[in-house]
Structure 1
């Protein structure tokens, strides 16, 4: 079985500054991985490479494959990158919803890559597509808000709508870049529980960048830590003790044991789940 994500010797510079230094790693299908590290360590830059939102240095021997398909090689995007992007859902810190549209329409937008161009331009969706979008909203606990404008929801609710949009997209991988950075603790908990649940019950691979180590310890089984553009740690989340975290962040941190991870279950590609 091919890894969901395979990165080989990824190098990225901005001017004279080397942001990523020969990063090599892989993520297996069905994993939920926390990407951690201090600000400026290269987490978000690494994430952007996976969808070709950023290209590696030209002339380098960097290679990135997602779902067994090359997305970029030696600083050049693959010719069929759009097809691969359709299989990867992105969840951003700022939600990226259309505030004037309804919650339901924002979720339906996730399926535009699968409908004819004329229908996408008119914004016309079938009854079946609307039912599918409602099912995605039910999964994230927001079905009752389907007809509200996105602007009427709280930040945490909007972030869960963004996750539902990725489900409507039928994403096989979800890349969540600092999804709880601007949220209060309760909203952060609900967003992370939603990501953990779709990973556990649907088998969707999730990679999430986090500043909050305690959330990484509670919801993820594996951590990849970056420091100065290099991999500082890659392994079980339980191995990240206080001493190692202090070395990573350069400050004294506690060494409380990580929460017991939730057991795996068989993925359901049809998204047919009972509501929480």
Structure 2
């Protein structure tokens, strides 16, 4: 079963087409890069995958995630909230609550699974707090659990956002430009974290990137959009400089910032056990 299936997706804003009949599939357990120049439709496509944006109404338009309809013919599925609970989001802006502790920000990921009466005052069980600490350990930030989120660096905050998705028990993670505002070292840590949870937990990850070298290093397949259409869909190895020059319409520098190579991780004895 495909993790994500998109068919004949079209979207226009104020009459201008942004997505022009997009049809793609993503297999379960893939880590896929979504690339293309600014304005190509990457973020718009990502928002359609969880129904944050609805497509134009068309007879064949369909978005399915984990075998369940998210939207069809430009209408949201009646049980879309159940599907959204299985999708984690990582945004460029982190979307943390700065005045709360790092651990509490991670615990927010569990709100979709706890009773309303308990979520309103922010009551979490000891077991949930332990799971939040485990998620923070998985992203290398357990020692920061009691700090205010605002005291962390940008790269650390982004890894807290990933831990929040793990706390949510997300089966698909949509990471929209997660390293766009980060320095190279922080970018490396964030991409390695996404790659590790993809490989060791089997979580499907789709990440939009401007830095093509990061896509080449961390993803096996890429989908490239150009002017709202699929320009490339295939293995990273086939994404050569000639293809990129055509995609971006100019001689393309494969990384907007210097790429820091992955460094071997020291064995810590920590395994990624399902939350």
TM-score range, shorter chain: over 0.9
Q: Secondary structure at the match of 1:199?
A: helix
Give the equivalent residue in structure 1 for 2:268.
Answer: none
Shift of 1:255: 8.2
Q: Write out the 4+ residue segments of structure 1 that deviate beyond 6 Å after TM superposition.
A: none
Q: Secondary structure at the match of 2:112?
A: helix
Contact 2:212 2:254 survives alignment (8 Å): no
Contact 1:3 1:29 survives alignment (8 Å): yes
CA distance in 2, matches of 1:149, 1:127: 20
CA distance in 2, matches of 1:18, 1:254: 28
The unaligned stretches of length 5 or more in structure 1 are 261-267
Contact 2:37 2:226 survives alignment (8 Å): yes
CA distance in 2, matches of 1:228, 1:53: 21
Provide, for residues 71-102 of structure 1, a one-character-per-residue CA deviation record: whole Å limited to 9, x for no partner. 10000000000000000000000000000000
- Supply the RMSD in Å over aligned alpha carbons: 1.7
Give the equivalent residue in structure 2 for 1:204.
Answer: 203
1:249-268 superposed matches below 5 A: 249-253=248-252
Give the equivalent residue in structure 2 for 1:16.
Answer: 15
The unaligned stretches of length 5 or more in structure 2 are 256-260, 263-270
Say whether 1:49 aligns with 2:52.
Answer: no
CA distance in 2, matches of 1:153, 1:28: 34
Provide, for residues 180-209 of structure 1, a one-character-per-residue CA deviation record: whole Å limited to 9, x for no partner. 000000000000000000000000000000
Q: Secondary structure at the match of 1:113?
A: coil
CA distance in 1, matches of 2:160, 2:123: 20
Shift of 1:253: 3.4
Say whether 1:214 aligns with 2:217.
Answer: no
Provide, for residues 29-80 of structure 1, a one-character-per-residue CA deviation record: whole Å limited to 9, x for no partner. 0000000000000000000001100000024521010000001000000000
Provide, for residues 145-193 of structure 1, a one-character-per-residue CA deviation record: whole Å limited to 9, x for no partner. 0000000000000000000000000000000000000000000000000
CA distance in 2, matches of 1:135, 1:91: 19
Q: Secondary structure at the match of 1:39?
A: coil
Give the equivalent residue in structure 2 for 1:100.
Answer: 99
Give the equivalent residue in structure 2 for 1:89.
Answer: 88
CA distance in 1, matches of 2:98, 2:60: 41
Q: Secondary structure at the match of 1:47?
A: helix
Shift of 1:251: 1.6
Q: Secondary structure at the match of 1:137?
A: helix
Q: Provide the TM-score with structure 2 as the length reference.
A: 0.92
Q: Provide the TM-score with structure 1 as the length reference.
A: 0.92
Say whether 1:158 aligns with 2:157.
Answer: yes
Shift of 1:254: 6.3
Give the equivalent residue in structure 2 for 1:142.
Answer: 141
